[in-house]
Amino acid sequence: MIALLAVCLLAVSVTAQAPRPCQSPKQWEGRVFTVDRSKQFERYGKISYDEYAPRFRIIEEEREGSTEEFYDRLYLHNVGKEYSLNLKTRKCNVTSLTRPFRPFGVPPEAKFTGEATIGAAGVPGESVVIENFDGEFSDGDKFFGDVTYPDCVPVANGVFSKEFGFVMNSFFDINVGIADPMVFVPPPECAGPVTGSFRTVNVLVFSLFLFFCFFHYSKRKEGISNMNRLQFPQLGKEYSLNIRTRQCNVTNLTRPFRPYGVPPFANFSGEASIGATGVPGESVVIEHFTGKFEDGTYFFGDVTYPDCFPVNRGAFNNEMGFVMETFFDINIGIADPSVFIPPSECAGR
């Protein structure tokens, strides 16, 4: 009997320790970058989100001198209507909102899949811990999401369905609560019976969007390609050891070295907060830089503020195409200098 009780208590303890979906703030405001690949649609704008109703509003940010269309969109899922106001023509369209509401936080049916640190691990103000969830809605649509730990503030989410394709949102500069409840009142131009289209891209949020895409993609690709690579630009050599077969290849390293931080000739192009703005431990400020190397290769990079820890970097040229790398769980310094010694399987090569 005592043994049975001990087993039951152990089971309860293990169950209690299993990560469960957290509850994200139900009302907040910030900025959002949305990409819908199936429709070749991109949107960057201010967002007000109310999950209680549910409803949300996105006012797309216009660019000076742009000839593109920009919209103020109000999604009232509680009444099944979408209001879409063209910010240039001031023409408003109202349509029925038939697609289901998807929470931008963590759905109750989500499953915890892991966590990572953006920025420098353990450095106050220079990092934020994010938790990763994924799952499937009752109608079969699949989703994933990233939120801060422990307060569950949305960082990114994505939904895939056969009907609507893949849609992903990345969130920045979030403030919990709604400053003005009137934000959910339709514009006066929409006083009668409400649609739209838009396309704009902000380099900073696009790079961060790719950051979260690659993060989730890499998690799902774990175990498919396991290589131990050691690059010596100063010697012009690259060692590649296949972790499974233990086969080592040594090749000449001809491409130039690119710093993972900010090159000295980079141009500052903006900043944003990942997580809840101004909440200690729940956000990190990212600065964005772009530029061009001497050989004509274009680059961008995101780093934490103020200490400039790498978050991601990307480069593009006609020869190699587009390459992007993202960084997590950074610790300053080298714990073991022997990490730069080629593996034994590569000896003499």
Q: Are residues 99 and 53 in the same domain?
A: yes
Residue-wise pLDDT tens for the chain (349 aa)?
A: 444 334 343 344 333 455 677 999 999 999 998 887 666 677 889 999 999 999 999 999 866 556 688 999 999 999 999 999 999 999 999 999 988 899 999 999 999 999 999 999 888 889 999 999 999 999 999 999 999 999 999 999 999 988 778 888 999 999 999 999 999 999 999 975 433 333 333 445 455 555 555 555 445 444 455 899 999 999 999 999 999 999 999 999 988 888 888 998 899 988 889 898 888 888 999 998 989 998 889 988 889 999 999 998 888 888 877 788 889 899 999 999 999 999 999 987 6
| Domain of 205, in residue numbers | 27-210
Torsion of CA 83, 91, 72, 189, to 10 degrees: -70
Q: Are residues 51 and 188 in the same domain?
A: yes
Q: Are residues 144 and 236 in the same domain?
A: no
How many domains, the chain?
2
DSSP state of 62: P
Provide the pLDDT for residue 349.
66
Q: Are residues 191 and 64 in the same domain?
A: yes
C-alpha distances in Å from residue 113, one per residue of 20, 132, 147, 275: 10, 5, 12, 19
Q: Are residues 232 and 314 in the same domain?
A: yes
136 phi and psi angles, rounded to 5 deg: -140, 130
Q: Are residues 144 and 242 in the same domain?
A: no
Q: Are residues 142 and 251 in the same domain?
A: no
C-alpha distances in Å from residue 325, one per residue of 99, 173, 269, 322: 35, 23, 19, 10
Q: What is the CATH number of the domain that holds 195?
A: 2.50.20.10
Q: Are residues 200 and 59 in the same domain?
A: yes
Q: Are residues 118 and 53 in the same domain?
A: yes
* Within a domain: 237: yes
* Within a domain: 5: no
* Within a domain: 219: no
